[in-house]
Amino acid sequence: MASDVYREFLKYAPAYAQQEAQQAIEKIVDLQKQGVIRSGLYYVVLVDLVGSTKFAATHGNDPAADRIKTFITASFNALNEINIRNTGLFVKEIGDAVLFVFQHFPDILRWRAQFARWVGRPSLDAEPIVLRTCVHIGEVYLEGVNPLSLAVSQTFKMEKAVPGGAIALTQPAYSVAWPTLARAYHAFAHLGNIELDGFLDCVGLYTLQEVLPDELDRIASETL
pLDDT attached to residue 1: 42
pLDDT for residue 196 is more than 60? yes
117-151 per-position pLDDT tens digit: 988 876 545 678 899 999 999 998 876 556 678 89
pLDDT attached to residue 81: 87
What average pLDDT is seen over the chain? Answer: 81
149-181 per-position pLDDT tens digit: 889 899 999 999 999 999 999 999 999 998 887
Where would I find the H helices in the chain? Answer: 2-11, 18-33, 52-59, 61-81, 105-119, 150-158, 171-177, 184-187, 213-221
pLDDT attached to residue 109: 92
Mean pLDDT of 67-71: 89
pLDDT attached to residue 2: 45
Q: Distance from CA of residue 152 to its chain's centroid?
A: 12
Compute the residue count for the chain. Answer: 224
Strand bridging mode 203-208 / 146-148: unpaired
Model confidence at 82, pLDDT cuts 50, 70, 90, reads confident
**Separation of alpha carbons 92 and 48, rounded Å:** 12
pTM of the full predicted structure? 0.81
**In this structure, what CATH number is given to the domain that contains residue 66?**
3.30.70.1230
Q: How many domains does the chain have?
A: 1
- For residue 139, what are the domain limits? 2-221
